[in-house]
Amino acid sequence: MKIGIVGAHGYVGSALRAYCDTQGYPYAKLGRQTTTDVPALVAHIEKSGLDYLINCAGYTGKPNVDACELHKAECLFGNAVLPGIIRDRVISKASFGA
């Protein structure tokens, strides 16, 4: 079993990676550079032979949630657009566990 973690370097993704490490589950880290380029994301998933894809990505703002008000486009992309891209374009094109 191999897990792909979208947002692997964020707060939730880091916690999931730590859990996978303690359980011995192999995973592929899918960070910001990979997720903003849809063809690269699909290729990475297919090449990695993933069985599962878990989306831990999200824009929460730095240094605090007020940053979401200042960076609305980034917030919208990370919290609404990217999950839709993963659902519509990535999952339909990738063959998990093949």
Residue 29's beta-bridge partner residues?
5
Q: What is the pTM of this model?
A: 0.77
pLDDT at 40: 77
Q: Where are the beta strands (DSSP E) in 20-94?
A: 27-30, 52-55
pLDDT at 93: 60
**Lowest mean pLDDT: which of 11-20, 63-72, 87-96?**
87-96
Contact present, 53 and 16 (Cβ < 8 Å) = no
